[in-house]
Amino acid sequence: MSTVEKGEYEGKRVVITGGSSGFGLETAKMLVDGGARVLITGRTQSTEPSEVAQAALFLAFDATYTTGAEFPVDGGGSQI
């Protein structure tokens, strides 16, 4: 995993789909560390206690369904 300079993503807003675990969760951590405001979507919220859980907004959302696909951007995007 690459490292991120503090403040490298300051002022950026990022939406990560599939961010409950694995690469998505690690990417969210990296971006939060870099100062980004992060919206994570996933079918289930991560149970991993971490700084990202407090620094990012999580929305339960299944991206395989097209109905309601605008919700993460319209509903959550305004909150990050």
Model confidence over 6-39: pLDDT tens digits?
Answer: 889 999 999 888 888 889 888 988 998 899 999 8
Domains of the chain, by residue range, sit at: 13-79
Quote the pLDDT of residue 40.
Answer: 86
- What is the total residue count of the chain? 80
Work out the mean pLDDT of the chain and round it to a whole number.
77
CA 67 to chain centre: 20
Task: Match 């991560």 to its residue by tokens.
Answer: 46
Task: Look at residue 53 in the predicted model and tell me its pLDDT.
Answer: 66
Contact 73, 50 (CB under 8 A): no
For residue 76, how many other CB atoms are within 10 A of its CB?
Answer: 17
Higher per-residue pLDDT: 16 or 77: 16
**Buried-state track 51-69, b at ≥16 Cβ within 10 A, e below 16:** ebbebbebbebeeeeeeee
